[in-house]
Amino acid sequence: MTFTVAIVGRPNVGKSTLFNRLVGKRLALVDDQPGVTRDRREGDAYLFDCRFRIIDTAGLEEAFDGSLEARMRRQTERAVEESDLVIMVIDARVGVMPIDEHFAKYLRRGKTPIALMANKCEGKVGEEGLMEAYSLGLGEPIPFSAEHGLGSSDLYDVIKEHMTRAVEEKASSDVFEKSEPIKPAPAMAAKAAEAKAAEESDSEDDEYPEDEFEGFEDDGEGRGPLQLAIVGRPNVGKSTLINKLIDEDRLLTGPEAGITRDAIAIEWEYRGKPLKLVDTAGLRRRSKIEDKVEKLSASDTIRALKYAQVVALVLDADGVLEKQDLTIARTVIDEGRALVIVVNKWDTCKDKDAVMQRVKDRLQTSLPQVKGIPVVTISALKGHKLNKMLDTVFDIYDVWNIRLPTAGLNRWLAELIERHPPPAPGGRRIKLKYITQARTRPPTFAISCSLPEDLPASYTRFLENNLRETFDMPGVPLRMHMKKGD
């Protein structure tokens, strides 16, 4: 059991900004347009020595039957139920609104402890709102500025107090941080939080280093949950698929267009193996991006690709692998992620053979460097072949994680060179001596080469293809580095 904090409040008060600050990476969307934060999202939050789970919810809106607001409210109710502490956020610059009062009343009725936060308190403009906040009957408001990172130390005090109480009550201290709380001076607090956030996001990046290679060393393999992103253009059926997969209405589906706008992480188990889903909005053609929200969503999708290990690119059987789909596919490969092509709406597809042929042709011509990208056909609507899809996802994940023994690799290299020696430009034979697997995720190999600059790219490609075939590594990006050695 992890201590869980839910952030609630009407739209535009700064919930997403707060969430981002605490989680330390830009998972949620931030925008001036009310209601941008539509679905709940969760993350691991850090505040000095406190670690907790945080849930960002859609705006608490008054319910109108069957409307988006009503469903958003249900999501919020669920988040509140699941949390140990609720932080209700108001906008101190605007002051207390009737809707704030309405939801304060609603929250007061529940059992979950509530903390009140007056956000946007930087400067003098927020002072009045901060005073008004007392009228909500939720105790002393925490003055805060999510945008400027002020007030972390006050927030820390409140969270720590509730965590400590929860530990005492539940007597299960093992799940909480054991380190002694060290409370920095308020002025240092914001800086410390920022440094912490930077550190966290750095270490995130470390997991996927750029195409750098530092000698023949191992990267270690911690296997957490498989992180899967489901991407694709609007309307291909991503939301339908996700809903079917998790069998829970955490994501809001419905007639409203483009409802799944940003990255949301959901975790569950498939056949006993943990799977974390990063849902993403459909990538739209840039020229069709009309408003700011759509723009954000597109770049968020690209980000989600980066955080995912396996990417399922969903296509509509009605129009497979168009230019934009191929762009996504190429990005996935360039980022070193494993790709699975998912052809959806197979139930209504008339000429199945023709569609499959087209998919194969397009992959062959547009992504020739990665042979064997898996293609699965599903019907998200009917729930057909979803297990096959997930099995494929886990299979390719295994290949992506593969670790080949150095002895076997060197035997392969020696035999290959014997049969197909490297070229001898200007009469100087290029010697390839040793090979080792430098990294996994994706499989990355290093070869010591007497004249790395002179080795033609075509020969490297030949090596790659042969390696892929020999060691059975279809569909994943491979990397090969030539390292100077004699």
Binding residues for GTP: 9-16, 56-60, 119-122, 232-239, 279-283, 344-347
CA distance 187 to 191: 8
CB of 57 to ligand GDP, least distance (A): 9
CB of 469 to ligand GDP, least distance (A): 34
Unique residue bearing structure tokens 């002694």: 180
CB of 375 or CB of 438, closer to ligand GDP: 375
CB of 146 to ligand GDP, least distance (A): 4
CB of 234 to ligand GDP, least distance (A): 4
CB of 9 or CB of 422, closer to ligand GDP: 9
CA distance 186 to 120: 17
Give residues with Cβ within 8 angstroms of 3, minimum separation 6.
52, 53, 84, 85, 162, 163, 166, 175, 176
Of 237, 230, 229, nearest to 319 by C-alpha is 237
- Give 379's DSSP letter: B
Host H or E run for residue 403: none
Give residues with Cβ within 8 angstroms of 287, minimum separation 6.
none
**Helices and strands per DSSP (H, E), number in the chain:** 13, 15
Is-contact 233 284, C-beta < 8 A? yes
CB of 344 or CB of 437, closer to ligand GDP: 344
Q: Which two tokens stand for residue 432?
A: 């390839």
CB of 386 or CB of 473, closer to ligand GDP: 386
Q: Which residues are annotated as a binding site?
A: 9-16, 56-60, 119-122, 232-239, 279-283, 344-347
CB of 102 to ligand GDP, least distance (A): 16
CB of 17 to ligand GDP, least distance (A): 4
Distances (CA, A) of 367 to 138, 363, 389: 58, 5, 21
Give residues with Cβ within 8 angstroms of 205, minimum separation 6.
none
Side chain identity, residue 171 = A
CB of 35 or CB of 372, closer to ligand GDP: 35
Which residues contribute to the site for ligand GDP (CB under 6 A)?
9, 11-17, 30-32, 36-37, 119-120, 122, 145-148, 232, 234-240, 260, 282, 344-345, 347-348, 379-381
CB of 97 or CB of 381, closer to ligand GDP: 381
| Dihedral over alpha carbons 249, 252, 257, 259 (to 10 degrees) | -130
CB of 227 or CB of 239, closer to ligand GDP: 239
Is-contact 21 47, C-beta < 8 A? no
Is-contact 63 243, C-beta < 8 A? no
CA distance 98 to 80: 21
Side chain identity, residue 11 = P
CB of 81 to ligand GDP, least distance (A): 20
CB of 80 to ligand GDP, least distance (A): 16
β pairing state of 273-279 and 310-316:
unpaired
CB of 4 or CB of 119, closer to ligand GDP: 119
Looking at the DSSP assignment, which residues form a beta bridge with residue 439? Answer: 444
CA distance 410 to 350: 49
**Measured CA angle at 292 (ends 323, 279), to 5 deg:** 60
CB of 425 to ligand GDP, least distance (A): 51
CB of 228 or CB of 455, closer to ligand GDP: 228
CB of 104 or CB of 404, closer to ligand GDP: 104
Dmax (CA) of the chain: 87
